[in-house]
């Protein structure tokens, strides 16, 4: 199964909510799933009632600087939900990352993520809404990047910042744009949003001359069909934990499960098209001058 990184340059678009529901939705389908919280404020860790700094965390992965031969079992909190394990965030994580100056440091987590992908059916990573080193480490390890948006304008400007890094990606991910929180008065028509995504790719192509190999490495940008309806989990961490039988909850759960199926189908296509074992593609890709 693909390594899925949920990322955005914007706050309030439902990034962590999407990551949490995507992971738990995958677990509900019977897939062994690990959810990695790499947010600065430990969003998912707190939502799942794990204590930041006390629960086993991914902090040791950063301290090892990519030299781990095996991901330690004690960094994973097992069975947080059925079929769902968690790599919790730590308040020390961001400060530790800021002090790292190792060569090719963006690739120091690739091996760790590949080990997780070999152990679990599904790996979901939540990131901070900024392009800091930790977010770049996650992006450079991902097979699929899920970019949530609430309107098309945010997509055009925010997604461009991420695409600007595509020439440095180790595993050239598939980019999937997910429309979250359908509200009244918000335009979620797919034709308009798809047009903007096509323009982003055309803008990249226009900046490239005489480099056919690099053109082939430009990311595939897909607009997912599912639109998540606005919802409120209430006192529960996720809609899957909620005891409510309201129509709002039922509709939102159906949306997330449809999205899970859509993402899993893309992940399966990535697995079938992968030409090299993960352990053979850890070296950084050629960087265009």
pLDDT tens-place string over residues 207-264: 555 555 544 555 667 888 888 887 776 667 788 888 888 888 888 899 999 999 999 9
User: What is the residue range of 117's domain?
Assistant: 3-279
Give the pLDDT of residue 263: 93
- Beta strand pairing status for 33-38 and 122-127? parallel
The pLDDT-based confidence of 125 (bands split at 50, 70, 90) is: very high
Q: Is residue 289 part of a domain?
A: no
The pLDDT-based confidence of 289 (bands split at 50, 70, 90) is: very low
Does residue 26 register a pLDDT over 70?
yes
Give the pLDDT of residue 238: 85
Q: How many domains does the chain have?
A: 1
Q: Is residue 286 part of a domain?
A: no
Does residue 92 register a pLDDT over 60?
yes
Q: Is residue 223 part of a domain?
A: yes
CATH number at residue 130: 3.40.50.300
For the record, the structure tokens of 79 come out as: 């069975």
User: Which of 170, 148, 160 has the alpha carbon at shortest distance from 202?
Assistant: 160
Question: pLDDT above 90 covers what percent of the chain?
Answer: 19
Q: Is residue 145 part of a domain?
A: yes
Give the pLDDT of residue 206: 63
Cβ partners under 8 Å of residue 233, min gap 6: 239, 241, 242
pTM of the full structure: 0.84
User: What distance in Å separates the CA atoms of residue 249 and residue 251, rounded to the nearest whole number?
Assistant: 5
SS (H, E, C) 16-65: HHHHHHHHHHHHHCCCCEEEEEECCCCHHHHHCCCCCCCCCECHHHHHCC
| Three-state DSSP class for residue 207 | coil
Q: How many CB atoms lie within 10 A of CB 160?
A: 13
Give the pLDDT of residue 286: 35
User: What distance in Å separates the CA atoms of residue 75 and residue 5, rounded to the nearest whole number?
Assistant: 19
User: Which of 56, 128, 59, 141 has the alpha carbon at shortest distance from 96?
Assistant: 59
């Amino acid at each position: 199964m693909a390594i899925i990184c949920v990322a955005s340059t914007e706050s309030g678009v439902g990034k962590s909510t999407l990551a949490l529901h995507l992971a738990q939705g995958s677990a509900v389908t019977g897939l062994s799933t690990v959810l990695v919280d790499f947010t600065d404020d430990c969003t998912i860790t707190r939502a799942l009632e794990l204590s930041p700094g006390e629960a086993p965390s991914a902090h040791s992965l950063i301290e090892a600087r990519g030299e781990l031969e095996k991901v330690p079992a004690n960094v994973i909190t097992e069975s947080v939900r059925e079929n769902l394990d968690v790599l919790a965030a730590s308040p020390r994580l961001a400060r530790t990352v800021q002090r790292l100056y190792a060569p090719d440091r963006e690739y120091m987590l690739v091996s760790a993520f590949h080990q997780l992908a070999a152990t679990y059916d599904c790996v979901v990573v939540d990131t901070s809404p900024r392009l800091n080193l930790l977010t770049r480490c996650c992006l450079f390890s991902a097979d699929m990047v899920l970019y949530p948006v609430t309107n098309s304008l945010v997509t055009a400007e925010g997604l461009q910042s991420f695409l600007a890094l595509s020439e440095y990606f180790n595993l050239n991910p598939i980019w999937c744009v997910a429309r979250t929180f359908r509200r009244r008065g918000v335009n979620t028509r797919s034709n308009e949003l798809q047009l903007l995504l096509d323009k982003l790719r055309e803008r990249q192509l226009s900046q490239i001359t005489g480099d056919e190999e690099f053109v082939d490495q430009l990311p595939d940008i897909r607009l997912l069909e599912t639109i998540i309806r606005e919802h409120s989990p209430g006192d529960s961490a996720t809609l899957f934990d909620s005891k409510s039988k309201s129509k709002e909850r039922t509709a939102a759960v159906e949306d997330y499960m449809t999205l899970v199926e859509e993402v899993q189908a893309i992940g399966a296509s990535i697995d079938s098209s992968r030409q090299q074992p993960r352990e053979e593609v850890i070296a950084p890709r050629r960087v265009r001058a």
